[in-house]
Amino acid sequence: MSNEASRQSRTAKLASDLRQFWSEPWFAILTMILAGAILLFIVTPVFAVLYKSFGMDASGFTLDYYREFFSRTYYFDSMMNSLGAAVISTIIVVILSVSISLYVTRSTSFVSRFYRGAALLPLVAPPFIFSLSLIILFGRNGIVTSVINSTFDVEFSIYGFWGVVIAQVLGYFPIGYMLVESTMRNMNPSLEHASSDLGASQWKTIRKVTLPLSQTGITKAGLLVFVMALADFSNPLIIGGGEPFLASEAYLLVVGQQNLEQAAVLGVFLIVPSLIIFIFQTYILDDSGLETISGESGASNAPLSRRVKTVVMTINTLFVSFIILMFVMVVLGAFVKIIGINNTFTLEHFQNRNGWDSLYTSVFVSFVAAILAATIGMLQGYLFARKPIPGKKALEFLTLFGLAVPGTVMGIGYVLIFNGSPFFLTGTVLLIVLNMTFRKIGVGLEASISKMHQIDTSMEEASSDLGSGPYRTFGKVVVPLLSPAFIAGFIYTFMTAMVSISSVIFLIAPGTNLAAVYILNLAEQARVGMASAMSFVLIVIVLSCMGLLKYIEKKTGVSI
Amino acid sequence: MSGHENFLKLSHLYKYFGDVKAVNDISIDIEQGELISFIGPSGCGKTTLLRIVGGFHKQDQGSITLDDQAIDQLPPEQRPTGMVFQNYALFPHMTVYKNVEYGLKIEKVDKAEREKRIKEALAQVQLEGYEERKPSELSGGQQQRVAIARCLVLKPKVLLLDEPLSNLDANLRMIMREEIRRLKEELNLTIIFVTHDQEEALSISDRVIVLKDGTVQQLDRPDNIYNEPSNEFVANFVGHANILSGNLAEVDGDTYFKTGKFSFKVEQPSNTTNQDVKAVIRPERIKLDPEGQLEGKIARIVYNGNFTRYFVDIQGEEIMVDDFNAHGLGSYQRNDQIKLSFPDQPHYILEEDVQ
Ligand SMILES: Nc1ncnc2c1ncn2[C@@H]1O[C@H](COP(=O)(O)OP(=O)(O)OP(=O)(O)O)[C@@H](O)[C@H]1O
Ligand SMILES: [Mg+2]
């Protein structure tokens, strides 16, 4: 086909797509509203930060703030610290994930299920909870610290770079672990059998077959952990001991010095790596090739040999015990007067008016955001999977991009956009809800799109054959079939919203404090008892919500 | 049959997907109360044509009238057609009852009437008592019946079935064939039935349409399709056939059909005076006959249960011969010399018809 002809046929296709798009006007209008919202609540904030970093709308275009960034070692150090901690945390998380996955994917024993449960435990806790328990154990007056200091006569404490690294490893471990485990689980066991059949030892098989085949999954896991650790905001604040990190420094610049321009520059350095990794993951990382070789069902991987098992079990047990110890510390901290010093049982840390208020706000806000995010994700997923929408690839990209933008950048962007006219939304609960919603709609969208691909179009055709118009078909057939995707979007958004901080901390006002932010403040002031008590309640709430959903799932037979 | 010819009239339908001519100038008139099958190899356009009738594809050109009303511009929800999908497309979140009720609710039929009609439809497909089951709790055949009931309850003017039996096992397929025939007779339904199974098409249909590359090859009664295929493609696609190229020659007042290698005596055919023809001879019409005119050697034997197929070498030409196993195992061995008698009225395909 000549260029001219192919252009003509493309124009013709676009025209027919547009006609079809408008043939269901309500869907068309909804799509446009959605597109507008995505642009306003995901894209503009990011651009606002970029714009601001060049000093625009105050002093006109300038590179002063970038110059400042590179000339002040303090700012530059924040970048090096953030990158360094993220790299180290990522490497450790990946090694631990592989180690636990190796065991868990080959055994259904109690120990295996125990490892798995414990490994996923950090999901239900605020990301900074480990900073809190690390302080309880290794802080200036920590239980272990005092022993070390008196035995070795030193001034040890966990505050600083390495404290942040440990907290990040613990906090972001589940994300990496889940990806690595699912990759290894999907791998065809017969490949390993073939390798050992050809005479390779198990070490060799793992090194030459298992790991190379899991490479894409492991890379994905690593990149995700890296992006999250890079954007980490609360751990540096609590346990960083004054060491500068990008996200926390940006926050301090905004609240402490009202220096939005300089904060924006730090934001740009946060977002550039995230953006690169996001694009790399979306367009370059190819997960179609290796691990999808399908296997005969029923076959399972060979159990680990003695030697491998010893190594793996040692690492796993140590790590898992550490996670559990951390949780135990928080629970103990919540129920005793001053942990390590006065260990008498008390409930006084729970008597905290502000704390309960903030919890109430958090539940309310997260619930609304979760409903919104899940609904939008479902609607968008249906429209994107079935309707000829011009530019839908771009919209999908932008929606998923919302997941990748570091919270701090989003928060600063929201401040820049919604503070003044024409919105005047700062300090309102509405803005917090919108922020939580649009940062997470990508999850519901992805779940819905993949669910839609499993639903044969004949389902909708049957409905229209029986006399139903497009909207009724959507309501009566598509929505019920998408309910698993809705629930997935809801759970994810609710859980992450309950414990999210980095973005909303810019948006709260005295009347609208959120539990996670409130706990962060307590932890920063080393008010361990109250912080532990509130964390405990937060964990209980998140866990019960999940339990409730599991119950509904069982009751209604909707699988999640 | 209740008559009304041209009940469903497809005229000069075209549908191209890019360069693929899925439907290429197809015109068919279907009578009311008729069951008509579309058969043809994979990709020949059966589904596409059916979906055009149902409104799921828009034809590029052509028109469709049903009961003298043009329906080709209507969306599926406004067409008086009912489609049974290959995967049944039952709504998994609704019970059998709710599935069947779905269309009635949209038509705003009142509750008492709905109940009555659902009961009736479920009785027609012999599924009373299954109202509260979910589709996942039904067997394939039962799901199939629900899908049919869901259409029947709306009293469609035409029922469209796209390979409805292909997901069922062989026995159930036989039973459902009977069922569909029975429903058709009882309710005087007009049915279009898509299948790639030629045996199924022959046994269930009033008329059969053989399609190839989006065009109609033959449209006729099943026995005519089998016995008098209009061209080589149809002869080969429907059943098995020996197709012999040759010509007719007079010898001493008798007519012979002569291939390059051998010849046998036939009656003077009425449908051709053409010299160069192809003769279509179904394998079961050739007899293993000690008195036969032609001699050959058995090259291969394929045992098929009710009959045995012999591949017989006659002067270097291989001929299929089916022998019905009325007395148990076939009685010949490989390399046996045997005699064959050919039918004296083979079906001739005229050379100009051969494509
Ligand atoms: N939506 C579509 N887009 C592009 N090409 C299509 C589409 N639907 C069908 N085709 C093409 O049109 C031709 C006819 O397809 P159709 O599905 O009608 O075949 P069929 O006779 O039903 O085949 P089968 O027996 O395999 O079901 C095929 O070449 C197919 O690839
Ligand atoms: Mg088909």
**CB contact (8 A) between residue B91 and residue A464:** no
Pairing of strands B276-281, B287-288: unpaired
Note the pLDDT of residue B27: 95
Token pair recorded at residue A32: 């446009």
Token pair recorded at residue A92: 């450790």
Closest CA to A435 of A400, A409, A411: A411
CATH classification of B8-236, choosing from 3.40.50.300, 3.40.50.970, 3.40.190.290, 2.40.50.100? 3.40.50.300
Which range has the top average pLDDT, A145-154, A280-289, A523-532?
A523-532
Which residues are within 8 A (CB) of A262 and not within 5 positions of it... i.e. 6 or more apart?
A65, A68, A69, A75, A253
Note the pLDDT of residue A353: 83
| Cβ B222 under 6 angstroms from ligand 1 | no
How far apart, in whole angstroms, are the C-alpha atoms of residue A307 and residue A178? 25
Q: How far is CA A309 from the centre of its chain?
A: 31
Which DSSP category does A337 fall into?
Answer: E
Atom of ligand 1 nearest to the CA of B211: 21
Pairing of strands B158-162, B81-84: parallel
Note the pLDDT of residue B330: 58
- pLDDT for A557 beyond 60: no
CB distance A115 to A313 below 8 Å: no
Give the distance (Å) from ligand 2 centre to CA of residue B76: 18
Note the pLDDT of residue B104: 93
Pairing of strands B276-281, B20-30: unpaired
- pLDDT for A129 beyond 80: yes
- pLDDT for A21 beyond 90: no
Angle at B230 between CA B225 and CA B236, to 5 degrees: 70
Q: Which of B17, B73, B79, B91 to mutate to test the interface with A (most CBs of A within 10 A)?
A: B91
Give the distance (Å) from ligand 1 centre to CA of residue A156: 73
Q: Could you tell me the pLDDT band of residue A53, with boundaries at 50, 70 and 90? A: confident
Note the pLDDT of residue A92: 96
CATH classification of A63-292+300-335, choosing from 1.10.3720.10, 2.102.10.10, 3.40.1080.10, 3.40.50.300? 1.10.3720.10
Burial class for B74, CB neighbours closer than 10 Å (0-12, 13-18, 19+): middle
CB distance A45 to A416 below 8 Å: yes
How far apart, in whole angstroms, are the C-alpha atoms of residue B316 and residue B338? 15
Q: Could you tell me the pLDDT band of residue A301, with boundaries at 50, 70 and 90? A: low
How far apart, in whole angstroms, are the C-alpha atoms of residue A505 and residue A411? 7
- Look-up: residue for tokens 């869901």? B150
Mean pLDDT, residues B306-327: 88
Q: Convert the pLDDT of each residue in A343-353 to its tens digit.
A: 788 888 888 88
CB distance B134 to B95 below 8 Å: yes
DSSP for A461-500, written as a single string: HHHHHTT--HHHHIIIIIHHHHHHHHHHHHHHHHHHHHH-
- pLDDT for A287 beyond 60: no
How far apart, in whole angstroms, are the C-alpha atoms of residue A321 and residue A325? 6
| Cβ B48 under 6 angstroms from ligand 1 | yes
Q: Convert the pLDDT of each residue in B41-85 to its tens digit.
A: 999 999 999 999 999 999 999 999 999 999 999 989 899 999 998
Pairing of strands B263-266, B254-258: antiparallel
Atom 2 of ligand 1: nearest residue by CA position: B17
Give the distance (Å) from ligand 1 centre to CA of residue B85: 15
- pLDDT for A359 beyond 50: yes
Cα within 13 Å of Cα(A405), Cβ side: 33
**CB contact (8 A) between residue B107 and residue A467:** yes
- pLDDT for B3 beyond 70: no
Where does chain A hold its CATH 1.10.3720.10 domain(s)?
21-52+352-514, 63-292+300-335
Three-state DSSP state, A336: strand
Q: Which residues of B touch A (CB under 8 A)?
A: 54-56, 75-79, 81-83, 85-87, 89-93, 102-103, 106-107, 150-151, 154
Note the pLDDT of residue B325: 82
More confidently predicted of B273 and B7: B7
Give the distance (Å) from ligand 2 centre to CA of residue B201: 15
Three-class HEC string of chain B = CCCCCCCEEEEEEEEEECCEEEEEEEEEEECCCCEEEEECCCCCCHHHHHHHHHCCCCCCEEEEEECCEECCCCCHHHCCEEEECCCCCCCCCCCHHHHHHHHHHHCCCCHHHHHHHHHHHHHHCCCCCCCCCCHHHCCHHHHHHHHHHHHHCCCCCEEEEECCCCCCCHHHHHHHHHHHHHHHHHHCCCEEEECCCHHHHHHHCCEEEEEECCEEEEEECHHHHHHCCCCHHHHHHCCCCEEEEEEEEEECCEEEEECCCCEEEECCCCCCCCCEEEEEECHHHCEECCCCCEEEEEEEEEECCCEEEEEEEECCEEEEEEEECCCCCCCCCCCCEEEEECCCCCEEEEHHHCC
Angle at B304 between CA B298 and CA B306, to 5 degrees: 110
How far apart, in whole angstroms, are the C-alpha atoms of residue A402 and residue A423? 21
Lowest mean pLDDT among A30-34, A336-340, B6-10, B46-50: A336-340
CB distance A113 to A181 below 8 Å: no
- CATH for B243-353 is 2.40.50.140
Burial class for B354, CB neighbours closer than 10 Å (0-12, 13-18, 19+): middle
Q: Give the ligand at the shortest distance from the Cα of B57.
A: 1
Q: How far is CA A158 from the centre of its chain?
A: 26
Is residue A476 less than 8 Å (CB to CB) from chain B? yes
Is residue A390 less than 8 Å (CB to CB) from chain B? no
Residue B77: which of A456, A464, A481 has the nearest Cβ? A464
In total, the C-beta contacts within 8 angstroms joining chain A to chain B are 61
Kindly list the domain boundaries of chain B, sorted by start residue.
8-236, 243-353
Domain A21-52+352-514, CATH homologous superfamily name and number: MetI-like (1.10.3720.10)
Residues of A in Cβ contact (< 8 Å) with B91: 459, 462-463, 477, 480
Note the pLDDT of residue A1: 45
How far apart, in whole angstroms, are the C-alpha atoms of residue B249 and residue B254? 8
Q: Convert the pLDDT of each residue in B88-103 to its tens digit.
A: 899 988 999 999 999 9
Q: Convert the pLDDT of each residue in A439-450 to its tens digit.
A: 988 888 888 888
Pairing of strands B191-194, B207-212: unpaired
- pLDDT for A291 beyond 60: no
Q: Could you tell me the pLDDT band of residue A75, with boundaries at 50, 70 and 90? A: confident
Q: Convert the pLDDT of each residue in A408-454 to its tens digit.
A: 999 999 988 888 767 777 778 899 999 999 998 888 888 888 889 88
- pLDDT for B323 beyond 80: yes
CB distance A244 to A75 below 8 Å: yes
Q: How far is CA A270 from CA A38, A266, A499, in A?
A: 21, 6, 21
- pLDDT for A244 beyond 80: yes
**CB contact (8 A) between residue A465 and residue B83:** yes
CB distance B163 to B39 below 8 Å: no
Q: Could you tell me the pLDDT band of residue A294, with boundaries at 50, 70 and 90? A: very low
Atom 16 of ligand 1: nearest residue by CA position: B45
Give the distance (Å) from ligand 2 centre to CA of residue B208: 16
Pairing of strands B294-303, B287-288: unpaired
Which range has the top average pLDDT, A56-70, B112-126, B166-180?
B112-126
Q: Give the ligand at the shortest distance from the Cα of B162.
A: 2
Which residues are within 8 A (CB) of B64 and not within 5 positions of it... i.e. 6 or more apart?
B8, B9, B10, B11, B13, B52, B53, B70, B71, B72
Question: Phi-psi bin for B6: left (phi > 0), alpha (psi -120 to 50), beta?
Answer: left
Q: Which residue of B has its CA nearest to A23?
A: B75
How far apart, in whole angstroms, are the C-alpha atoms of residue B121 and residue B150? 8
The pTM of the full predicted model, rounded to 2 decimals, is: 0.80
Note the pLDDT of residue B309: 92
**CB contact (8 A) between residue B89 and residue A476:** no
